[in-house]
């Protein structure tokens, strides 16, 4: 397999694991479940195909959905290892791009993997409305962000308390959350209450909380720019309708 990822010893270990006991029978199971898998003699062949640059390939989407569907029926951890290998390049890219979130690169990677496995474990492909790749990647991204945002808030609070103590000021004074934190909390409440759906949630959080261009969010959600714009506006309107204060803290 001619990819630069072979320089990654952690990945080498997982690829070796895919040749081990139990994995061959899983591939045979998939071949019986869906004929599209007949073209791949080994997991390495299938992995190489999944790593190709065309992320919106319909065959790749079919493969991913099938693996996720079988995983919901057969909860063996082997399936999550397979999915981890499939998503390895994207997760490594996330690790590089968001390294500034922490000063411990090794711990950050472990947290990415842990979060990814939790997202995959909980994902039901029959109920999510998003493209499976986007659902997994953005699910991991947002869960990871929430984890580190909570840590940043604790660290900031500790530093602020220390500063207040040194300056002999009153402790426990009320501290306002950032605009991004406040928005994230509101969007999550809307999602949990059913006022917005997953797609609207990811468009709102991706663009307003994390600052990603709407075109990027639209692509990840499998939508055209115009469709994403309308969906995001719909979500904003639902937020405005529920706000007691009619003044919106951001522009659509």
pLDDT along the chain (252 residues), means of 10: 63 93 92 92 95 78 93 92 96 92 90 96 85 90 89 67 42 52 81 85 85 83 85 85 50 40
Q: Is the distance from CB of 27 to CB of 42 less than 8 angstroms?
A: yes
DSSP codes joined into one string, 163-199: HHHHTTPPTT---PPPHHHHHHHHHHHHHHHTSS-HH
Q: Is the distance from CB of 65 to CB of 125 less than 8 angstroms?
A: yes
Q: With CA atoms as reference, report the closest residue to 92 among 73, 102, 105, 79.
A: 105
Residue 92 is predicted with a pLDDT of 95
Where in the chain are the domains?
4-133, 176-252
Residue 154 is predicted with a pLDDT of 72
Q: Is the distance from CB of 135 to CB of 198 less than 8 angstroms?
A: yes
**CA end-to-end span of the chain, whole Å?**
46
What number does CATH give the domain 176-252?
A: 1.10.10
What DSSP designation does 205 have? I
Residue 95 is predicted with a pLDDT of 94
Question: Two tokens at 74?
Answer: 């057969």
Residue 68 is predicted with a pLDDT of 95
Rounded Cα distance, 246 and 240, in Å: 7
Q: Is the distance from CB of 109 to CB of 73 less than 8 angstroms?
A: no
Residue 171 is predicted with a pLDDT of 38
């Amino acid at each position: 397999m001619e990819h630069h990822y072979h320089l990654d010893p952690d990945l080498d270990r997982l690829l070796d694991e895919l040749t081990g006991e139990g994995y061959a029978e899983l591939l045979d199971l998939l071949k019986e479940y869906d004929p599209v898998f007949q073209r791949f003699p080994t997991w390495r062949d299938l992995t190489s195909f999944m790593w190709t640059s065309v992320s919106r390939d319909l065959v790749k989407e079919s493969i991913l959905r099938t693996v996720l569907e079988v995983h919901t029926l057969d909860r063996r951890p082997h399936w999550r290892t397979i999915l981890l290998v499939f998503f390895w390049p994207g997760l490594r890219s996330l690790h590089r791009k968001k390294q500034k979130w922490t000063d411990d690169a090794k711990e950050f990677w472990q947290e990415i993997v842990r979060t990814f496995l939790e997202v995959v474990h909980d994902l039901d492909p029959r109920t999510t409305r998003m493209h499976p790749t986007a659902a997994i990647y953005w699910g991991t991204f947002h869960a990871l962000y929430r984890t580190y945002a909570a840590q940043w808030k604790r660290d900031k609070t500790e530093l602020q308390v220390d500063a207040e103590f040194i300056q002999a000021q009153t402790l426990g004074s009320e501290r306002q959350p950032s605009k991004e934190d406040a928005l994230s909390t509101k969007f999550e409440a809307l999602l949990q209450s059913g006022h917005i759906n997953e797609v609207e949630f990811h468009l709102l959080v991706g663009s307003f909380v994390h600052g990603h261009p709407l075109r990027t969010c639209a692509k990840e959600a499998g939508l055209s720019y115009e469709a994403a714009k309308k969906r995001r506006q719909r979500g904003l309107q639902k937020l405005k309708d529920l706000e007691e204060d009619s003044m919106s803290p951001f522009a659509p």
